[in-house]
Structures are given as C-alpha cells and as structure tokens.
Amino acid sequence: MSYSNPAKNDLKNPTQQEAFEEGHDADIPTDIGAYKHPVSTLSHTDLEKGTPPTTSSSTMEPQTQDPVDPDIVDWDGPDDPANPQNWTERKKWSNIGILAIVTLITPLGSSFFAPGVPELMNSFHESSNTLTAFVVSVYILGFAIGPLVIAPMSEMYGRFWIYTICNLLFIVFNVACAVSTNLNMLIVFRFFAGCSGASPLTIGGGTVADMFPPEKRAGAMALWGIGPLLGPVVGPVCGGFLVEAKGWRWVFWIICIFGGFFSILLFVFSDETYHPTLLERKAARLRKETGNPNLRSKLALNIPPREIFKRSLIRPMKMLFFSPIVLLMSIYISINYGILYLLFTTITFVFQVQYRFSAGTVGLSYLGSGIGMMAGMVILGITSDKIIQAQLKKGPVKPEHRLPFILTVPGGVGLPIGLFIYGWCTYYKVHWIVPIIGTVFVGFGNLSSMMTIQTYLVDAFTLHAASAMAANTVLRSLFGAVLPLGGLDMYKVLGLGWGNSLLAFLSLALIPVPILFRVYGERIRTNPRFQVKL
C-alpha cells in the first residue's frame, strides 16, 4: 500500500504538487535547469506504484493530452494585463520606487539612533555598557525573528496587506519608542519595530520577481537592494546632527514622519503583485458571478497554515545545522556582520572620547564604512559579471565560480586590515581621518564577502535557495544583535588596539572558509553524505 501525503493531495496542479514534494516554494520554477531535482523528471504516480515511469517510447499507442480542467482559473493568455509581468513600465517602476524608499527607511532605523545613545543613557541615568549596546542592536534581533512570521503570512495573504500592516506597526512601535519613559520600555519597542520593519527586506525581492522576468530583473533588484546597503550608514550621519539639535526622541519622530508618509504612498499607489493571491481573487470573483463553487486558482496551494509555518521554520534550521556549506558560510558571514554592527554601536563613543567629536559631527565617522560598501558593490558588480561571462565561453558555470579568489581573498583580507588600522590608530589618537579610512576597508570586506557568499548559496541550493538564505539571515541577524553587546566592555579591558586586533584575528581565521568551498564545494554539495532531507 502506498502512502499518500494529505497535504500533497490538496495541491490542485502539477506545478504546485511538484514544488511541495521537492521542498521549495511554489513560485520557484521546477524546471530550473542544471540543479533540477532528479525525482522531478519522473511520474509521481509511477513512483508510488514502484514501477518505472511510462514514456512515449514505451508504447506504440498514440499519446493523448489531458483535457483542460474547466474549473481551473488562470491568466487570460500570456498578455493578460492583470498579470503583474504585463503591467506598464511606469506602473512597475513606480511600485519598485516607493518600495525601495520604504526598504531604505527600515534599515536606516537600525543605526539612525546610534549617535543619540550617550544622551539617552544620561537621561535615563543608566551606565551599563551592555544595555548601551543592546538598545541599538536589539533592532537587528527583530530582523532575525520578524521574517519567520512575515514570510509564511505573505504566502497566505499576499504581499500588499503584509506591507501595509507591518508598516503601520512599524510606525506605532517607533511612536512608542519616542515616548518611552524608561530604558526597558524603549528596548522592547525597538525590538518590535525591528520585527515589523523586516517586511520590505523579507518579501521585497519577491515583489521584484513578481513583476520582472529574470532577464530584466537586475536593475529593479539593484534599486530595491540599495536601501539595506545605505540605510545603516546614512542613518548615523543624519542622526548625529538631529540629536545635537533636537534630542534623541526626535530620531524616532523623524522615522515615524518619513515612514508614515512613504507607507501611505505605498498603500495608495502600489498594488498586489503576488500571483497566487491575484488568481485566487479572480477565482473568487468568478465563483460569485457564475455561481460555480468548483472554480479554483491554478496556483492554489492548499497547504494548511500550520504546514506553511512548519516549512518556514524547520527547513532553514535543518539546512543550517546539517549542511556544512550553509553552516560554515553562515558563520563566516555572521561573524563579519556582527563585527560591523559592533563598530556601529561603538563608533559614537570612540570618536567622542578619543577625538572629542560633538554629537552632530560624530555621525560623519560612519561615512568610511559606507564608502567601502559602495566601492565593494561597484567592483563586485563589474568584476563578477566579467568572470562569469569569461567562464561561459569556456564551459558551463558552476556555483563555485561565484567564489573567485580575485574577490574572496581581497575581501576577506580587507576586513581584518581595516580593523587593525582602525583599532591602533584610534588607540594612539592618530588623525581621525586615518581610522575612518580603516573603516573603508571594513565596509569593503564585509560587503564583498556577504554578496559573493549569498550569490553562491543561491546558485548552490537553487531549489532550496529561500531556505538557505533564511538560515543565513537568521544567524547573521542574531550575531548582529548579540556580538555588539560585549564591544564597550571588550575595549575597556583590552583597549581599542588589542580589542579590534582580537576581532581582526577572528576574521582572519575565517578567510579559508570561502577558499575551501571554491576548491571543494562541488565535491561537498554532491556528496550524498551531506545531502539534507527536507
């Protein structure tokens, strides 16, 4: 007797059924190419019976196509204007433009507040170094927890209402931060602001994919992706002068004002883009108009909500703990990311104490890491494309080609070099421009390692790329929230020189990780011993 999965039987079309059985999201194509699941090429019915799949060559009888189910609701042809892929360019780019600004504001909130922390601690009469760091980094902890709820909710209810509700909660929690009467209250609301603010980061890439085919997606992804890059850097630059002029509470009021304005624009001028939700609405309208209760969306994925949440929670964790590639790469990225946020939470104190920067000018000390990140993005974009194009002329491109030594080694070495420069120059009070130049190397090294490894994970785990990225994001955000907690205490014990040198040695020790997978990655990911059953 064959076992029948009830969740699988609820899937109404082969694409959705195959997606569920292969273990990836339904909107990821199953015919992905070189990394297609080998079982997906077989008949599911034949597999359950334990007999070889039937092919056209196994019989001389003419093959007939299955009749089209009249109760299936699909797009009205390839040019259906209701399909977001067929929207006008103006409509597509207006949606992406507003979303990009919202995606800039929520990461900006992670560090916008940093220059105001000394004033905040004085106003609440707090002196704990741990709380001083945690009030900034707890926002990143929200970025780790929020996506675990936001992602499955978007599968059930679409993207538009998740954006709307999360944006509203983001504003409410920032208002609560602005009127907080004690530090504990502020920390709690900062955490929930981070959870709700994670929505554009979690599902923004899916919105881009909804509207643009792969060959036209790069520009939109670049526009959407610039927010998480610039936000944490622009925030302190603006926040420093704002705190000096108006006080730390106005940081949250400004976030509320701008966040509220662009959230309203997103609500008024954007539309739902998630294809399953749009087709389900169409099916519901046709059921009402025709009186036919059997009409159903072609993309209906009738998996119980419990199964959706289970998939979103368990799969990334299984990949994190049982896949050596995901585990080691995530640890490498997470430690570098934690080091970056340790600098974000301590730069204010370092430059105010060592160089007597004012609350306004101290925000300018964050520009170095931002310049490094932008330089890394430009160099990576130009170089990586040329490397892939050159490889295409030689033969097929493998995921390991995303980890060329020309990018991974300079990026890996750049971060510890920057830490050595920053640490010892601030310790000896060398002119302030020199340690800021050191943070340029930190920003470049952090960005280059993060981008190359994320691209590698997507290519190496094509069908399960979403789960691999989720595992990476959760661990990275946890390190970004926790590692900075010991920053000020570490500097107090070891000093700025040896404290940053310790971080540099830790980063140096991890450089072999991407080199290891550049050389042995294919052998590891194709070894049955390291295959993760999802």
Residue-range domain boundaries for the chain: 6-61, 74-302, 303-534
pLDDT tens for residues 268-278?
998 999 888 88
Asked if 514 and 408 touch (Cβ cutoff 8 Å), the reply is: yes
Per-residue pLDDT of the chain (534 residues; tens, 9 = 90+): 333 333 334 444 443 444 443 344 433 333 333 223 333 333 333 322 333 333 333 333 344 444 567 778 888 888 888 899 999 999 999 999 999 899 889 888 888 888 888 888 888 888 888 888 888 889 989 988 888 888 888 878 889 999 999 999 999 999 999 999 999 999 999 999 999 998 988 888 788 888 988 667 767 777 787 777 778 778 888 888 888 888 889 999 999 999 999 999 999 998 999 888 888 888 888 888 888 888 888 887 677 878 877 777 788 888 889 889 999 999 999 999 899 889 988 898 899 899 999 877 888 888 898 899 888 888 887 787 688 778 888 888 788 888 888 888 888 999 999 999 999 999 999 999 999 999 999 999 988 888 888 778 877 886 677 678 788 888 988 898 888 888 888 999 999 999 999 999 999 999 999 999 999 888 888 888 777 776
Question: Under DSSP, is residue 122 helix (H, G, I), strand (E, B) or coil?
Answer: helix
pLDDT tens sequence across 287-341: 888 888 888 888 876 778 788 777 777 888 888 898 899 999 999 999 998 998 8
- Given this chain, do its domains 74-302 and 303-534 carry the same CATH topology? yes
Write the CB contacts of 123 (distance below 8 Å, at least 6 apart in sequence): 248
Contacts of 332 (CB under 8 A, 6+ apart): 449, 453, 510, 513, 514
Q: How far apart are the C-alpha atoms of 233 and 269, rounded to whole Å?
A: 28
Question: Cα separation of 309 and 272, whole Å?
Answer: 22
Q: What is the pLDDT of residue 421?
A: 96
Q: Are 137 and 343 in contact (CB under 8 A)?
A: no
List the beta bridge partners of residue 296.
Answer: 72
8 Å CB contact between 126 and 183: yes
Residue 365's contacts (CB-CB under 8 Å, 6 or more residues apart) are 236, 347, 348, 351, 357, 432, 436, 439
- At the top level of CATH, which class does the domain 303-534 belong to? mainly alpha
The residue among 342, 351, 361 whose CA lies nearest residue 506 is 342
Which DSSP string do the residues of 491-506 spell out, in sequence order?
Answer: HHHHHHHHHHHHHHHH
Which stretches of 55-128 are DSSP H helices?
89-111, 117-123
Q: What is the DSSP letter of 12?
A: -
Picking from 379, 79, 33, the residue whose alpha carbon sits closest to that of residue 214 is 33
Confidence (pTM): 0.75
Q: Which two tokens stand for residue 146?
A: 């929020």
Would you state the pLDDT for residue 24? Answer: 42
In the numeric block, the tokens 């955000």 are attached to 477
**pLDDT at res. 509:** 93
- Of 64, 62, 45, 65, the residue nearest 53 (C-alpha): 45
- Pick from 430, 108, 161: which is nearest to 281 by CA? 161
- Residue 439's pLDDT is what? 94
Distance of CA 379 to the CA centre of its chain: 21
What is the rounded CA–CA span in Å between residue 421 and residue 410?
16
- Whole-angstrom distance, CA of residue 467 vs CA of residue 313: 9
Note whether 303 and 7 are within 8 A (CB).
yes
CA distances, 104 to each of 94, 138, 197, 500 (Å): 15, 18, 10, 29
CB atoms inside a 10 Å sphere around CB 427 = 19
Distance CA 221, CA 209 (A): 9
Give residues with Cβ within 8 angstroms of 72, minimum separation 6. Answer: 12, 13, 296, 297, 298
CA distances from 425 to 431, 434, 498 (A): 8, 7, 11
CATH architecture type of domain 74-302 = Up-down Bundle (1.20)
Cα 54 to Cα 41: distance, rounded to the nearest angstrom? 11
